Amino acid sequence: MIMNDMPQQDWDPKSATVLCDQHKAYDEMRERCPVAYSDFLGWSLFAHEDIVRVLNDPDTFSNVVSRHLSVPNGMDPPEHTEFRGIIEPYFRPERMEAFEPQCRKIAANLIQSLLERDKVEFISEFAQEFAVRVQCTFLGWPADMYEPLRLWALKNQQATLAEDRAAMTKIAVEFESYVDEMLEVRRAAGTQASNDVTTSLLHQRVWDRLLRKEEIVSVLRNWTVGEIGTISAAVGILVHYISERADLQQRLRAQPSLLSGAIEEILRIHGPLVANRRITLRPVEIGGQKIGAGERISLIWISANRDDRVFANSGTFQLERDQSSNLLYGAGIHVCPGAPLARLEMRVVMEELLARTTRIEPVPDSPPTGAVYPASGFATLPLRLR
């Protein structure tokens, strides 16, 4: 490609062809043009090697990509280091172990309600409901927040796709109002406030000061977007995959100890998160393309995890595959701090679903519909649970 003041477009991420089958489109781009420019995403990276290079070089590739505060993932060191230090303890093994019974109860109750129906629309009736309820329970938010949060997440996704800045601002203000209400309840209760994650954030300190309200809002917003969008997508992907493979389904029922590896492999093949962004801090060359300072970089996770140079026969399910290069949760200093909670949720869902059913099947003549970028997975997923 000839470098001009404005690069030529190598592809259109919002084209009907791409959106119809993101996996196929990204696989083709990885082989045809692994570093590709578009007006919508800037420079998109498709190769595993190039994406790992970016993840391991925060001095060149900045995470400060938004005009809005994003704690901690939208920060660079030393700010990122300081804020990450107060985030990671919420996901320690002992906390996850203590939370597991609540997570399991949510999954079991939802599954039991679905077993009474001839068929279910799994995304809206289970995956989204599960993600919202777990998130509220983890944060200590009441049940009357389930539906507002579910609708908020959907509006946030739609506004992101449309690049509707006015709508995105309105949605951000809406979420801030939810947090204001939760914090006010806890401040009014004083020493009698509930002992939960949201209350705890009121007492967290960085650089010898308490977190500011806008920082608490940002932490909670990032957790909520990741939880509701990514977890619901991941759960849908997992259940769709086994619904079409009765032999694998039965094997996992018989040997639930295999679930953790199976989950990582299925989500490697069918990633629940499409992309993440960076900004170049200095001129750089990647894959033969010269990229200036201050340019947008889009890391296409789905493509990286399907790169045959790293994962032999990447499109095939291999239960014994080495997952050490799997970028499902990222890598480097910005690797997802909430990965332990995500792994817990998905394992619990699959354990409960497989234990409470004998068959999970597609519904004839009712095919699933794919989610629309920036989401992955499925928008609808009709199933029969027996």
Closest CA to 36 of 289, 315, 344: 289
- In the chain, what are the domain boundaries? 68-272+334-357
- Position 129 scores a pLDDT of 95
Q: How confident is the model at residue 3 (pLDDT cuts 50, 70, 90)?
A: very low
Contact 315, 279 (CB under 8 A): no
**Residue 370, CA atoms < 13 Å, CB-side half-sphere:** 15
- Position 5 scores a pLDDT of 64
Dihedral (Cα; 214, 219, 225, 231), 10-degree rounding: -170
In CATH terms, the fold of domain 68-272+334-357 is Cytochrome p450 (1.10.630)
| SS3 (DSSP) at 34 | coil
pTM: 0.94
For residue 158, pLDDT over 90 is answered with: no
- Position 2 scores a pLDDT of 41
* pLDDT per residue as tens digits for the range 43-60: 999 999 999 999 999 999
Q: How confident is the model at residue 1 (pLDDT cuts 50, 70, 90)?
A: very low
Alpha-carbon span 346 to 31, nearest angstrom:
32
For residue 156, pLDDT over 90 is answered with: no
For residue 163, pLDDT over 80 is answered with: no
* pLDDT per residue as tens digits for the range 243-262: 999 999 999 999 999 999 99
Burial of 322 (C-beta count, 10 Å sphere; 0-12/13-18/19+): exposed
Alpha-carbon span 169 to 118, nearest angstrom:
41
